[in-house]
């Protein structure tokens, strides 16, 4: 994790800042000499929405997905649990989803794979250097895509890679993960860490919690919302973010029944 923190610092200090109109050249295709080389030994942090997309794609439960494909790096500086994609144990430490023809979960690949070769500095990190969010080009020596003659703007790349839905869900997640509560240096107690993990990454277990405990007897939840969150993981995650704001940070996002 220190390695990642160091890289963050270098990016913030040295990488050119891009905005949505900034231009760059890039192309990735099967004929390129580096094809698939970026899909091994890579650090991929999964967002809650990444987990939903991938477990749905693989037609398995969120628990099975977490057990089989992820690990939780432990770092005492972390405010809350984070989940990373577990590479295979082969010589190259390949991504479990890479195949001869590229990514086997392409339409549901994680946010960071969609964004590549772009990275984005969060307002929290960029703010340390007195700036808001910005984009930058990741400098991966293995990648030959930068030498291809195809023009992009940041905005065009984001649209082409269908990143908007991921960004929309990512913004809701940031309201939790970058909450003022953490800026004040407060730590979540273990039961709250567990709730954070369940809501954000184990959506099927969170559904059990909502529908198979006394939850709906204790809180006022509109019938239409109950109908939506029963079936729809994305709706349940949005509901879960509101629940976390209530139970972790004491915000008035839920109403208790009398
Ligand atoms: S999820 Fe797909 S694109 Fe991302 S590293 Fe794995 S194989 Fe590559
Ligand atoms: S290294 Fe770059 S160009 Fe090569 S497959 Fe990966 S993203 Fe595409």
Q: For a pocket test of ligand 1, which of 32, 106, 109 has the largest count of ligand atoms closer than 8 A to its C-beta?
A: 109
Tell me how many degrees the CA angle 193-251-77 measures, rounded to the nearest 5: 35
- Domain regions of the chain by residue span: 2-161, 180-250
Give the torsion through C-alpha atoms of 223, 229, 230, 232, to 10 deg: 140
Place of tokens 């019938």: 223
Spatial distance between the Cα atoms of 82 and 201, rounded to a whole number of angstroms? 9
Shortest-distance atom of ligand 2 to CA 33: 4
In this structure, what token pair is assigned to residue 140? 């991966």
> How long, in residues, is the chain?
258
State pLDDT tens for residues 166-184: 999 999 999 999 899 988 8
**Residue 123: predicted pLDDT:** 60
Shortest-distance atom of ligand 1 to CA 42: 5
In this structure, what token pair is assigned to residue 180? 């003022």
For ligand 1, whether the C-beta of 103 sits within 6 Å is: yes
Residue whose CA is at the smallest distance from ligand 2 atom 7: 28
Half-sphere exposure of 39 toward its Cβ, with a 13 Å CA cutoff?
A: 20
Q: Report the helix count and the strand count for the chain, using DSSP H and E.
A: 13, 11
In this structure, what token pair is assigned to residue 25? 């050249």
pTM of the prediction? 0.92
Over 80: is that where the pLDDT of 8 sits? no
**Out of 9-13, 224-228, 249-253, least confident range:** 9-13
């Amino acid at each position: 994790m220190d390695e990642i923190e160091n890289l963050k610092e270098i990016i913030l200090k040295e990488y050119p800042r891009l905005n949505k109109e900034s231009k760059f050249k890039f192309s990735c295709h099967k004929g390129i000499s580096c094809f698939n080389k970026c899909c091994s030994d890579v650090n991929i942090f999964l967002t809650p929405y990444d987990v939903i997309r991938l477990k749905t794609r693989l037609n398995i439960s969120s628990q099975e997905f977490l057990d089989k494909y992820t690990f939780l790096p432990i770092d005492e500086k972390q405010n809350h649990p984070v989940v990373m994609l577990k590479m295979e144990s082969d010589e190259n430490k390949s991504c479990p989803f890479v195949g001869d023809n590229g990514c086997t979960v392409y339409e549901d690949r994680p946010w960071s794979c969609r964004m590549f070769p772009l990275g984005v500095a969060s307002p929290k990190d960029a703010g340390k250097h007195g700036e808001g969010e910005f984009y930058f080009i990741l400098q991966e020596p293995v990648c030959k895509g930068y030498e291809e003659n195809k023009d992009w703007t940041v905005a065009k790349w984001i649209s082409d890679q269908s990143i908007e839905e991921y960004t929309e869900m990512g913004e809701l997640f940031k309201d939790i993960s970058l909450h003022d509560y953490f800026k004040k240096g407060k730590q979540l107690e273990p039961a709250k860490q567990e709730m954070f993990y369940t809501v954000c990454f184990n959506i099927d277990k969170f559904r059990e919690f909502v529908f198979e405990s006394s939850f709906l007897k204790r809180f006022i939840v509109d019938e239409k919302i109950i109908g939506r969150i029963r079936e729809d993981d994305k709706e349940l995650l949005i509901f879960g973010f509101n629940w976390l704001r209530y139970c972790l940070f004491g915000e008035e996002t839920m109403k208790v029944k009398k």
